[in-house]
Amino acid sequence: MKPHDALSDPAFLALASDGVMTGATGSYEKLLGDLAGVYLDDDAYQEAVASFGAERLAYRVEVNQLDEGAGALIIGTSTVLPGRVGDEFAMTRGHLHVKADRAELYYCISGRGVMLMDTVAGDSRAIQMTPGEAVHVPGHWVHRSVNVGDEPLVTLFCYGADAGQDYQIIADAGGMVQLVVTDGQDGWTTTPNPRHVGYRGAAA
């Protein structure tokens, strides 16, 4: 813990509709080529890479973090570009927090998205987000953002700085319990993921 005279200064943050955060202390990008194995239809994924290039931006994250450890926050924006791979909509890799009891808030700034969530035991939820709407993801829920619209999905997120992120748990399970796919018209629906084999840590 910092001594009193080494406290961090408060930060001013401004959030633009394109996900740019004034006051960010860091950022990272995920490219189309980074998402191998994320989508069910690997042939469609390889076609997308061939068509658009492995260096095409898939999503961008900007964060503000003043401190580390218990009590500190990570605040950021996630910008997921639109598109589909096969029948699936564009999405993030998703994660469970390493400290699994840590919750997270997602607030939709622009675009149209779905927060896809699973428990390790196999319960699954999909909640749509449009501007002005938020999803409170409780602890112990695996979660990922899915862009089901035709413009970038921009969300504000906030979680404890000591939470950590376990991305591998989804890969080890063969993906999440459900897939978010087109309904064949202008909307979305969910369908069971035939590749899902269960999450590690689930009761036998």
- Of 54, 71, 53, 62, the closest CA to residue 25 belongs to 62
**Domain covering 19-192 assigned CATH 2.60.120.10 in the classification:** yes
Return the pLDDT at 3: 56
Return the pLDDT at 203: 64
Q: What is the CA radius of gyration of the chain?
A: 17
Return the pLDDT at 201: 83
Return the pLDDT at 5: 64
The identity of residue 174, as a single letter, is G
Q: What is the mean pLDDT of residues 163-167?
A: 97
What tens digit of pLDDT does each residue of 88-105 get?
999 999 999 999 999 999
Q: Which residue matches tokens 């492995």?
A: 54
Predicted structure pTM score: 0.94
What tens digit of pLDDT does each residue of 8-53 get?
999 999 999 999 999 999 999 999 999 999 999 999 999 999 999 9
The identity of residue 183, as a single letter, is D
Contact 80, 92 (CB under 8 A): yes
The identity of residue 4, as a single letter, is H
Q: Where are the domains of the chain?
A: 19-192
Q: Is the pLDDT of residue 4 over 70?
A: no
Question: Residue 6: which pLDDT band, with cuts at 50, 70 and 90?
Answer: confident
What tens digit of pLDDT does each residue of 112-148 get?
999 999 999 999 999 999 999 999 999 999 999 999 9
Return the pLDDT at 182: 98
